């Protein structure tokens, strides 16, 4: 049986979370078109006849960290890079220009001790016009693949190759006790918070998602079988709080409605989501370490 850890490495918005979700076949990481959507390391479990893989989805590595949150996100990603892994996927978005940020990730990929696979993502785009800027690095890596994680295209050859180079194990070293399957490092409270945060990224303007954090205060199944969830959106300024609430509370109701539907789908129960907004200018220091 083949078994091992596969680390995904790349700058923000290259499609690492979409790849992990679509390989596993279930949503384990939230996605949005905005950078910094993934703030924490997510581990997802993949199993088939050939063996087991734990995919580790790291936050995108920023070239420059101008704020505390970006700095902490980078620290989380770099801590994960320094752990023992069996295979590394270095993912590139050839629709974006190579820059200092990409150079920083490339430098990390070059130092990895595990085999590194170069993966061009977003090949559903008919004109990946910056592909030529990356061609010079292809010879440095063990193998090169071109995929579309979004459309689930050309992912099988990549998965086949990963299994080819993973180590053989006589018995599984992975234990899942106390963890949420197929997410191995996040409990249900954390996953629900992530689903709510995703809706803010998808439905709000540029600044608000980065100034917001979700706290789950209570999860309790009521006698009628409805799951009651009490959650707070923390944001750094009163002006953002007003935007999140919206005129006559319309925006918070909209966010809550979309989040409630997805949570209900994920846990297969009816959900009552009690969602409020608070201002806390220091949430990054208090809740994000």
Residue numbers in the known binding site for GTP are 10-17, 57-61, 121-124
CA distances from 178 to 20, 80, 125, 175 (A): 21, 21, 41, 9
C-beta separation of 286 from 276 below 8 A: no
C-alpha closest to that of 158 among 142, 145, 140: 145
C-beta separation of 184 from 44 below 8 A: yes
Record the tokens describing residue 23, joined without a space.
């390989």
Burial tier of 199 (Cβ tally within 10 Å: 0-12, 13-18, 19+): buried
Between CA 211 and CA 122 the distance in angstroms is: 28
**What ranges in 212-249 are assigned the alpha helix state H?**
238-245
Specify the DSSP element, H or E, that contains 277.
strand 271-279
């Amino acid at each position: 049986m083949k078994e091992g850890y596969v680390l995904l490495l790349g700058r923000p918005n290259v499609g690492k979370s979409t790849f992990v979700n679509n390989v596993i076949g279930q949503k384990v990481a939230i996605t949005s078109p905005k950078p910094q959507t993934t703030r924490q390391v997510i581990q997802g479990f993949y199993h088939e006849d050939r063996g087991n893989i734990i995919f580790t989805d790291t936050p995108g590595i920023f070239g420059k960290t101008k704020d505390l949150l970006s700095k902490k996100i980078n620290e989380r990603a770099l801590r994960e890079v320094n752990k023992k892994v069996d295979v590394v996927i270095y993912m590139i978005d050839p629709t974006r220009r190579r820059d200092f940020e990409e150079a920083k990730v490339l430098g990390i990929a070059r130092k990895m001790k595990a085999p590194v696979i170069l993966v061009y993502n977003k090949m559903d785009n008919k004109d990946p016009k910056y592909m030529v800027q990356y061609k010079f690095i292809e010879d440095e890596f063990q193998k090169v693949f071109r995929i579309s994680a979004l459309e689930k295209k050309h992912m099988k050859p990549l998965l086949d190759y990963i299994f080819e180079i993973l180590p053989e194990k006589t018995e599984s070293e992975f234990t899942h006790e106390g963890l949420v399957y197929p997410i191995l490092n996040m409990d249900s409270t954390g996953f629900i918070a992530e689903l709510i945060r995703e809706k803010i990224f998808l439905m709000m303007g540029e600044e608000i998602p980065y100034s917001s954090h979700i706290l789950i205060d209570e999860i309790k199944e009521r006698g009628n079988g409805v799951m009651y969830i009490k959650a707070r959106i923390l944001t750094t300024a009163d002006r953002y709080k007003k935007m999140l609430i919206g005129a006559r509370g319309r925006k918070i109701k909209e966010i809550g409605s979309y989040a409630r539907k997805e949570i209900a789908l994920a846990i297969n129960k009816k959900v009552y989501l009690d969602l409020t907004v608070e201002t806390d200018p220091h949430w990054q220091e208090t809740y994000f370490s």
